[in-house]
Amino acid sequence: MSSDESSVDTIEPVEPAETETESAPAQPRWLLLGSAAFALAALLAAAVFGVLWWVHASGDDADLATSREEVVTAGRAAIKAYTEVDFENLDAFFAKQKDLSDQGMKEQLAKSEPTYRKALAEAKTKVTTTVQDIGVEELDDHQGKAKFLAAVTLEVKQGDKTVPKAIRIEVQMTRDPADNAWKLSGIGDVPLVAAGQ
């Protein structure tokens, strides 16, 4: 037996190769505590503002906001009823006004209707109304009274002439106790003031 054959190959254990791993630097404790405090403060703020919103949404403010929207909706319809005219259908024009007016305005309409009916028919007047904006100035929900200003654009057609016209209207509304609906109780033009006057 040769010396080569008698030698036993020995396997030497191989050390694992060192790998370079980057370990994340340890976060300072104050940064962790600061983040937790900030998250807690955000949660508390959200809870407080949520409760405040809920209180306002379910209290008198919500009722007042609802009444304001009802006034704006009824007021928009009343303005169109009083300004949008078709001389070929004056019965509907005056009927709509009476339907959206309180008792005092109905009485005024009854007195002035014959004169206006004749003038509109003779001039062959057609008016298309666009209510641009309504700003509620006063709203007394308990008394059922409101007042607002409206910016209105009219397209007035008489014969073959069409003229655009911008006006401002002041409107008073009163809530009818019979059906709890807002009715027109007064309407009038507000003069437009030029800038610098």
The residue assigned the tokens 């008198």 is 60
Q: What pLDDT does 82 receive? A: 95
Judging by DSSP bridges, how do beta strands 182-190 and 161-175 pair with one another?
antiparallel
Q: What pLDDT does 195 receive? A: 56
Task: Specify which residues 183 forms β-bridges with.
Answer: 174
Identify the band that residue 112 occupies on the pLDDT scale cut at 50, 70 and 90: very high
Q: Tell me how far apart the alpha carbons of residues 65 and 149 are, in angstroms, rounded to a whole number.
A: 17
> How confident is the model over 5-25, as a mean pLDDT?
55
> How confident is the model over 95-122, as a mean pLDDT?
94
Instruction: Return the number of other C-beta atoms located less than 10 Å from residue 28's C-beta.
Output: 9
Fold held by 57-190: Nuclear Transport Factor 2; Chain: A, (3.10.450)
Q: Where are the domains of the chain?
A: 57-190
Contact 153, 164 (CB under 8 A): yes
- Res 9 pLDDT > 60: no
- Res 197 pLDDT > 60: no
- Res 182 pLDDT > 90: yes
Q: For 185-194, what is each residue's pLDDT tens digit?
A: 999 988 766 5
SS (H, E, C) 67-81: HHHHHHHHHHHHHHH
Q: Tell me how far apart the alpha carbons of residues 156 and 166 are, in angstroms, rounded to a whole number.
A: 11
Which H or E element spans position 128? strand 125-140
